[in-house]
Copies of this chain bind each other. A is one copy, B any other.
Amino acid sequence: MCESNVYLQDGENEVLIMESVDTIEPCENGVNLMDILGRQMFVPARIKAMTLLNHRIIVEKIS
């Protein structure tokens, strides 16, 4: 399966905020995430970088 884990960058650290994410939809104030089980989460952050082969999506807080 090709879902990714989403990490929130916090300074030099990256905090895992959601696993097994399937859909990602940026919106005006953040990003909507949904995992493979249909669970949804809104995060007030923007996408910073993604490396799909590593299943990693990094988001950072909107300042």
Residues of A within 8 A of B (CB): 1-4, 21-26, 36, 46-53, 55
Contacts and interface: CB of A to CB of B under 8 A. Distances in A.
A51 B47 CA distance: 15
Nearest to A50: B24
A51 to B, nearest CB: 5
State the copy count for this chain: 2
Query: Does more than half of chain A's interface fall in helix, strand or loop, or is it mixed?
Result: strand
Given A2-B2, A47-B47, A23 B36 contact: no
A26 B3 contact: no
Contact of A52 (B3, B26, B46, B48): B3
B2 A23 contact: no
